[in-house]
Structure 1
């Protein structure tokens, strides 16, 4: 796991992860204080939930995907990939170790966000505490299942086409899956189109992993059967993304 340790130590020394941790821990308390939430105590906790998960998503999409792309490109252009290949570390293992090193920083960010919501936005009614724990666990699980494949894909695309391409393509895919498919769905409800319907059906529905509004309005945990269907759906995307990432990933630069 030498490449894993090297990648993790490189990311750690750049200290950008500290900004993400600061944003997830501090902004949920700071932003509501400078907004109208202080005048309406009932919306203080919902505002904290909104700020927490906005920070988590922003850190993952902006910093996480950028870091993944940067490390994927660096592994190829610096010659590290070629070196580790000569020492017996296969391309598959190189991609996996880089991916895991990035997840080591993304998972704690998601855990921090979940912890803030559980500890500082818990409903006052004791009868709702169990539901709140379940809903936050569901959010954490779906978030990681949805975002982890994108991070691995960013590493792979960047290793072949460069860091800018890796970051731009995965960011656009994530934004489309989170918000674009919703607009496309609304468009199809107003005016059916078989071609657009086919595109929508094969589009990644990352928006199903965003339970911020469900937490905000305290709509309750997702039913067990539906939750496991979502887990299976995102797991299928994970398997597909892993295969695609392995096909894209390379250890040697063509230049």
Structure 2
């Protein structure tokens, strides 16, 4: 049987079982990096989690996997500074609700304007949050410049003991659910910058899959992200794409107007 929780979220009799395994994978990953058993971890799990709030599911999400991992780190390892970074194309409203005004959590959140869950524009985020709302058709240059200016200084100043990533790859230009113009190389760049700016975490990074609904771009983006997480340097796609950016190739005309 199929049980409809809202317009987007349904359950079968095995859905909660799968969701518990997804959250459990993040708990295991936190254990591994905190005990020095792994050099960063990527959790390839579904269902995703960042729309699930304290007391309700939503947006395909049943349990907020990243929030479970963060609370496990706080409860079992007594951490006081955890950075949660959400680069899914959709606003991480569940994570924002769970950790609102929690000084132990720095929540860096980016999303495309005009997309589910349609957050209110103009409202100030919680003091422990930095929201970046990207206009439709935003591409690599604007994305990277904004991250450099708004996220990285705040992340470095926070000095996290652990970094948790809500790794959504639906901001890729080929993804059918979003309307941003990112390239898989942008996810490699972002991963490198996060690790570089969060040296205080001593390599303790747990990445958790969120969105990504076009298989080709999801695979390419996740592979680029994993390449950097594994400490292998810059993937070939990033080397080629960075040359493209340095040559000053024109981006989408709509993005040029935004600049």
TM-score by length of 2: 0.33
Structure having the larger proportion of residues in helix? 1
Larger Rg, first or second structure (1 or 2) = 1
